[in-house]
Amino acid sequence: MKKALVIGGGFAGCSAAHLLSLQGGWDITVVESGPWLGGGCKTLWYGGHPYTFGPRHFLTQNVPVFDYLNKYCPLRRCNDHVFLTYVEKDAQFYNYPIHIDDVARMPEKDQINKELTEAKQLNGAGAAKDFEEYWLASIGRTLYDKFVNTYSKKMWMLDDNKVMDDFSWSPKGVALKEGPRQAWDTAISAYPIAPNGYDDYFEIATRAEGVKVLWTTIEQYDLPNKTVVIDGEKRTYDAIINTASPDLVMDNAFGELPYIGRDFIKFVLPIAHAFPKDVYFLYYASDEPFTRLVEYKQFTRINYDAESTIIGMEIPSKNGRYYPLPLKTEYERAQKYFDAMGENVFSIGRCGSYQYRVDVDDCIAQAMDSVEKLK
Ligand SMILES: Cc1cc2nc3c(=O)[nH]c(=O)nc-3n(C[C@H](O)[C@H](O)[C@H](O)COP(=O)(O)OP(=O)(O)OC[C@H]3O[C@@H](n4cnc5c(N)ncnc54)[C@H](O)[C@@H]3O)c2cc1C
């Protein structure tokens, strides 16, 4: 039996443990330092309603990943929903991604159309060197100021969007949308059917053959030698799949990796439905301190007819390490950590791979990829 250590029992860690178990021949230890499995995707309850810290809905273009999760955690397809962004200057909600049909409703429509024609002629988004240049070249100044400029500074707690010099995660190709209003008409959008969301999957994954969970903290890390100290005991493994921030598990050797955190507020309203039928999220692009509201009933369909509804509000803050900053310098720092980790050590998940664009489906895809390499 080969021995594997999985650091962290969030989506990435649970998927890795489960997939290793399915591969067979592994004795797998998951170390979880928090109070539950599933990390940020754990379902909590308030006022009789299930909710998570942020939406955590399942969105993917990867059919094998969808099929895998759907097998162990039956999912309800919800491709019907649209996203709206509130623009205070216009006192209007508009579709997001920005939809060409909405331009006609905007006070500066003539100016916007002129800028869009110029952007099309220049066709310069592909050559953009930073986040701001990309958006200006894609949609022009007026739409950028309306939807992206303030939102992005708020989201990343930055004064200048030009410092974000990697924009490969931004919705390229859908900077300006035409056709269906549904944001994700080319992807699978889904949510667990079970009232407790993904939680049963985390249990299935960690009760699989050969998997055990240690609810503890690792005292010392030596990833290049695939060795850690747990409860005073030195343990060496054949493989390690890490899902914690690379700086944390590598003794900060190349310096701290920066993150943006989130404050989260949930509240119950005495009304059956707060948002229109096809709206699940709302984004706020102006000076409000929050970025997003989610009406969970829309996703969960649990207590859908109840006379109250639960809303979650996300406020960017320095609390927690949730959003790796999309800065080239920090990606380079993260790469130094990955290069130093050694053979058969994989670092996956949102913090583990230090990639903001890593969502739930990517966590599973990364776990599949790592486990495949361990065959
Ligand atoms: C507010 C918010 C909303 C989001 N909404 C969506 C969405 O709608 N759709 C989507 O696809 N993605 C969404 N995401 C992203 C997605 O949820 C994450 O990519 C995914 O959950 C990351 O899983 P993970 O296992 O990498 O990390 P986590 O969920 O953070 O889990 C990590 C686990 O490891 C444990 N841990 C950490 N360090 C250690 C250590 N040193 N030792 C032992 N255990 C440790 C933690 O306690 C935790 O349980 C959202 C993210 C945020 C922050």
Question: Which atom of ligand 1 is least distant from the CA of 249?
Answer: 41
Query: For residue 375, which amino acid is it?
Result: K
Counting beta carbons within 10 angstroms of the beta carbon of residue 366, is it exposed (0 to 12), middle (13 to 18) or buried (19 or more)? buried
More confident residue, 134 or 209: 209
CB atoms within 10 A of CB 212: 12
Which tens digits make up the pLDDT trace of 158-176? 999 998 876 655 554 568 8
Predicted confidence band of residue 324 (pLDDT cuts 50, 70, 90): very high
Query: How much is the average pLDDT of 213-220?
Result: 98
Query: For residue 13, which amino acid is it?
Result: G
Predicted confidence band of residue 80 (pLDDT cuts 50, 70, 90): confident
More confident residue, 239 or 81: 239
Cα–Cα distance, 263 to 279 (Å, whole number)? 23
Which regions of the chain does DSSP assign to beta strands (E)? 2-7, 26-31, 44-46, 49-51, 58-60, 75-77, 82-87, 92-96, 188-192, 211-214, 220-222, 227-230, 233-236, 239-242, 259-269, 279-284, 292-295, 309-317, 323-324, 345-347
Q: Could you tell me which residues come within 8 angstroms of residue 233 by beta carbon, excluding any fewer than 6 positions away?
A: none
56 lines ligand 1 (CB under 6 A): yes
Question: What tokens appear for 156 in the block?
Answer: 């990343």
Angle at which helices 360-373 and 11-23 cross, to 10°: 30
Predicted confidence band of residue 125 (pLDDT cuts 50, 70, 90): confident
Alpha helix (H) ranges present in the chain? 11-23, 63-72, 109-122, 131-143, 150-156, 199-206, 246-249, 296-300, 328-340, 349-352, 360-373
Rg (CA), the chain: 22
Q: Does a cis peptide bond (omega within 30 degrees of 0) precede residue 171?
A: no
CB atoms within 10 A of CB 305: 8
350 lines ligand 1 (CB under 6 A): yes
Distance 40 CA to ligand 1 centre (A): 5
Question: What tokens appear for 367 in the block?
Answer: 């776990």
Cα–Cα distance, 238 to 5 (Å, whole number)? 8
CATH numbers and ranges of domains, the chain: 2-42+198-258+325-373 (3.40.50.720), 43-81+182-193+259-323 (3.90.660.10), 82-163 (no CATH)
Cα–Cα distance, 63 to 50 (Å, whole number)? 27
Question: Which atom of ligand 1 is least distant from the CA of 264?
Answer: 1
Distance 19 CA to ligand 1 centre (A): 18
From 151, 152, 120, select the one nearest 137 (Cα to Cα).
Answer: 120
More confident residue, 47 or 179: 47
Angle at which helices 199-206 and 63-72 cross, to 10°: 90
Q: Which residue has the tokens 């399942």?
A: 58
